[in-house]
Chain A
Amino acid sequence: MNKADVTKNSELAEELFEVDTLVELDPKSLEFYRDDAGFVSLKYQGSEYFNVRLTRLLPFYSKTTYISVAYDNEDREFKEIGVIKDMSEMSPEQFELVNDYLEYKYYMPRITKVYSIKDNSRGFIFVDLDTTSGRKTICVRDWYSNFRLLTDKYLYALDVDGNKYFCEDINTLDKKSLAVLEIYI
């Protein structure tokens, strides 16, 4: 390879690896706001991004850390502005705004009590539970996959409608709930 080729390749390589760099956003400079259309937009370091996409990179295990902030450019291509490493470093108002939006986007009631589980012996179970959104009976299909522990203690449920429920630590549930759950998890 001659010198010119090497220079050309290193330029291209720079271009190539630019997308691979993790951009950590400065929490203090972030200025999110909600517009009338119901979107969250952002002013950051002199630029304004409309309708940004906020994503929890670890939705099950961490709700306020590693939040990806992205938008679609004029060509409707996905562009990531960067990642908020820890939301707690943002101002309280900004934290509330972002957290509020994320809680809404990832709307997932927390399970607080399990009353009973009925198996219809055809792959469905009906779980009567109390959640942060009230008491309800959910129907779970293929419950081996959709009603299970993700870790030793994190319970995850996905009902037939596509609604998700969770309990981050089943050990915080009462003894009766644990006894009901024991057979199924």
Chain B
Amino acid sequence: MNLRLSAPKGKNLDDYLFCLPFNLYGRPKKVDGHLLVTKDKTIEVYIDGELKESFGFEDFDEYACEQLTGCSVMVGRKDDVTVKRICAFTNDEFISFAEVCKIINHYLTTGVLVEKSDIDEPKCPKCHLPLDGYTECPYCASKVKVFSKLVKRVMPYKWIFLLSILCTIAGELLNMVTPYVNRILIDEHVIPAQNYEKDFEVNGFILLCISLVVISILKVAIDFVNMKSSYYVALNIGKDLREDLFKKTLDLSMNSVSKKSAGELINRVSNDANTLQSFITDNGKQAIVRIMSLIIVAVIAFVMNWRLALMSILPIPIVMLTVKKLTMTIRMYFGRSWRCANNHSKLLHDTLNGIRVVKSCGTEAQEVKKYEAASGKWAKAITKAEIIWQIFWPMQDFLLTFGNYLVLFFGAKMILNQMPASWGTMTLGELTQFTSYITMLYTPLRWLLNLPRTFANASVSASKVFEILEEQTEIQDSKDCVDLDIKGTIDFDHVFFGYKVYNPVLKDVSCHIDQGKMIGIVGHSGVGKSTMINLILRLYDVTQGSVRIDGVDIRKISQQSLRSQVGVVLQETYLFDGSILENISYAKPNASFEEVIEAAKIAHAHEFITKLPDGYNTRVGNKGHTLSGGERQRIAIARAILHDPKIIILDEATASLDTETERMIQEGLHRLCEGRTTIAIAHRLSTLSNADQLIVLDKGRLAEMGTHNDLMRQKGVYYSLVMAQRKTTKMKKVEKAALV
């Protein structure tokens, strides 16, 4: 990322490490400001070319960017408290300033001053659209490069694809023969017989009719082979793409996956792959055929009569441009009516779902008024869109075939010899043949006009798909990684980590966890508790420092070996759509049924499972919706027990359950954790009362570590957390008492 953007007048950009312009300075008025970072570790703030303030790096402990509502500020902090606002800027500058803060903070903690930023530009330098985790803008990527990758995907099916192309060419050629046979039929049999010029020649007539039938049969046969081979190729390419994408998506690091939403990934696996699938069959094949057919038909038409041919083509570009413009307008009007329909159904959904609230508040009349307004708006929008559509549709049809009218008009005049001699003459059969060709000319032309748009859409999909397929997985097994038989000792050694480079979540965390001990991690929300767990699982790599298991840096342990020996029970248990048996044995698919029952018994799940009519074959439904929260949690514990991990992670495992269910589950958890290193996170501090040690995090730093009694005696962060929770419990009791 470029952090040397502009310098104040009279200053040389090259004399500074970083030069960033900013536009606000404590007032709601735009200023011409610059923040300059010098090589001798000072920060200079210039307003209108004049030095306003300067700071040494060490004047503050930490630099950060804070987002206000409409703008952001760069601040200096001491002891985690913001003590100075250095400058302000609109949000488009946020990433650049955050990156400068990160680099200075890195210097403050390590003494190493990085001179260049290693993060990618957040926006495409060409079209300025946000890159959203893409390494290359999908809208601006080289289309030729992207499509050459796509062509390679066709290679395994090249012979069948070739067959489909040959069939399409043959089909197009047959299409061109039909008008010619029609012409002979009219000129040599129908007209002469009608004018009594010669006797009706039955043999010739029948022969021509038979040839038309044969052409039709041939066409059907060729179309069938064409369709079959085309679909074979398309569906197989789509299948290959989807499978490769899915496999690659599962291999990606969490860092990479979390940059894209689940919806975006699903979209890429299904929709983008489908777009490419249809592009290859429809347009890949058609590109050759349409262009060929355009050339052949145009040559025939111009040879037959160049004046008429020109007449039929001339209006097309103007017509197509008009149609394109009108299509845009229509799309906008229909888009608007779609939005109104959407708002209407949202309102309907909202009101009917909350009908109890509406009735209890007596706001029926108010809701009816709101509904009438939304419904009226929708009706108005759709009427407008339909009117425009009804005007547009016949007009478009007329304009598109306008060339045909000209051909018919002048062609008829030529048949009647009413045109100048230079135009030549024409027979009825020739005119019929000519108009057939002209109609055939419109199809590839229409396709050609739409091609840039189709091409652009497919290119965007291809860029998105290939970006995932070619992405380098950030978390990879190193060459010298080992399969470790984990005992369970864990060490955090001066660990720094942030999901976003400019926002560290864990700062200099060091601790030692003994094998077989139960450790509780406590702290306020967002303090970095779950982050510590993510690092143990190596879902992310630390920014600085190291995490070690049994003295081995986890980056040196193979991911398969590490994760197969760590069991996790989360607050929100995810159950796959399948039976209870499948869900329990998910982590160990080859487990015997006896092992599954044993695990379920330890987890106190066996009892409720046996009460279900379908026992272990009960389908849990999507995300396990047919089961209660406690039941789902017990299945998750059984799954973890079957997994037989060396390290157990309990992330708020009982937070969403009532006290009675929690008690039952605690028993299961207790059995699960016996003799294993256990790391538990819980907001309800009483849950962690039996922990051997507690790690207390505060603002990303390790504030305290010790047993419950030690920490209570210290009267530090943990003590205040316990006191605050006791106060809340007290308040709840009062509320209950008041209700009684």
A-side residues, CB < 8 A to B, are 1, 5, 9, 12-13, 16, 34, 37-39, 51, 59, 75-76, 100, 103-108, 119-120, 122, 124, 133-134, 139, 141, 144, 159-164, 183-184
Which residues of A sit under 8 angstroms from B92, Cβ to Cβ? 159, 161-163
Give 12 A-B contacts (CB < 8 Å), ordered by A residue.
Answer: A12-B731, A34-B26, A37-B84, A37-B85, A39-B85, A104-B26, A106-B70, A122-B139, A141-B130, A163-B92, A183-B332, A183-B336
Tell whether, in the assembled complex, residue B129 and residue A37 are in contact, meaning their CB atoms are under 8 Å apart: no
Which residues of A sit under 8 angstroms from B24, Cβ to Cβ? 104, 107
Give the residues from 330 to 345 in chain B that come closer than 8 angstroms, CB to CB, to chain A. Answer: 332-333, 335-336, 339, 342
Q: A162-B91, A183-B333 are in contact. Are A104 and B130 (CB under 8 A)?
A: no
Q: What 20 new A-B contacts, CB under 8 Å, besides A13-B738, A16-B734, A39-B85?
A: A5-B737, A9-B738, A12-B730, A16-B735, A38-B85, A75-B720, A100-B27, A105-B69, A106-B70, A108-B69, A120-B139, A122-B139, A134-B30, A161-B90, A162-B67, A162-B91, A162-B92, A163-B90, A164-B69, A183-B335
Q: State how many residues of chain B have any CB contact under 8 Å with chain A.
A: 40
Give the residues from 385 to 439 in chain B that come closer than 8 angstroms, CB to CB, to chain A. Answer: none
Asked if B107 is at the interface (CB within 8 A of a chain A CB), the reply is no
- B84 touches which one: A38, A107, A160, A161 (CB < 8 A)? A38
Q: A37-B84, A51-B82 are in contact. Are A13 and B734 (CB under 8 A)?
A: yes
* Nearest opposing residue in chain A for B29, CB measure: A104
The DSSP consensus for interface residues of chain B is mixed
* Nearest opposing residue in chain B for A144, CB measure: B339
| Measured CA separation A126–B362 after assembly (Å) | 43
| Measured CA separation A134–B414 after assembly (Å) | 64
| Measured CA separation A133–B92 after assembly (Å) | 14
Tell whether, in the assembled complex, residue B26 and residue A38 are in contact, meaning their CB atoms are under 8 Å apart: yes
| Measured CA separation A19–B67 after assembly (Å) | 27
Tell whether, in the assembled complex, residue A9 and residue B734 are in contact, meaning their CB atoms are under 8 Å apart: yes
Which residues of B sit under 8 angstroms from A119, Cβ to Cβ? 332
B-side residues, CB < 8 A to A, are 24, 26-28, 30, 67-71, 73, 81-85, 88, 90-92, 94, 128-130, 139, 332-333, 335-336, 339, 342, 460, 720, 730-731, 734-735, 737-738, 740
* Nearest opposing residue in chain A for B88, CB measure: A104
Tell whether, in the assembled complex, residue B720 and residue A139 are in contact, meaning their CB atoms are under 8 Å apart: no
| Measured CA separation A133–B83 after assembly (Å) | 29
- B70 touches which one: A16, A38, A107, A141 (CB < 8 A)? A107
Which residues of B sit under 8 angstroms from A104, Cβ to Cβ? 24, 26-28, 68, 71, 88
* Nearest opposing residue in chain B for A165, CB measure: B70
| Measured CA separation A166–B717 after assembly (Å) | 43
* Nearest opposing residue in chain B for A56, CB measure: B69
* Closest Cβ–Cβ distance, residue A20 to chain B (whole Å): 11
Tell whether, in the assembled complex, residue A16 and residue B339 are in contact, meaning their CB atoms are under 8 Å apart: no
Tell whether, in the assembled complex, residue B129 and residue A59 are in contact, meaning their CB atoms are under 8 Å apart: no
* Nearest opposing residue in chain B for A103, CB measure: B28
Tell whether, in the assembled complex, residue B336 and residue A164 are in contact, meaning their CB atoms are under 8 Å apart: no
Which residues of B sit under 8 angstroms from A141, Cβ to Cβ? 130
| Measured CA separation A107–B70 after assembly (Å) | 4
Q: A37-B84, A105-B70 are in contact. Are A161 and B734 (CB under 8 A)?
A: no
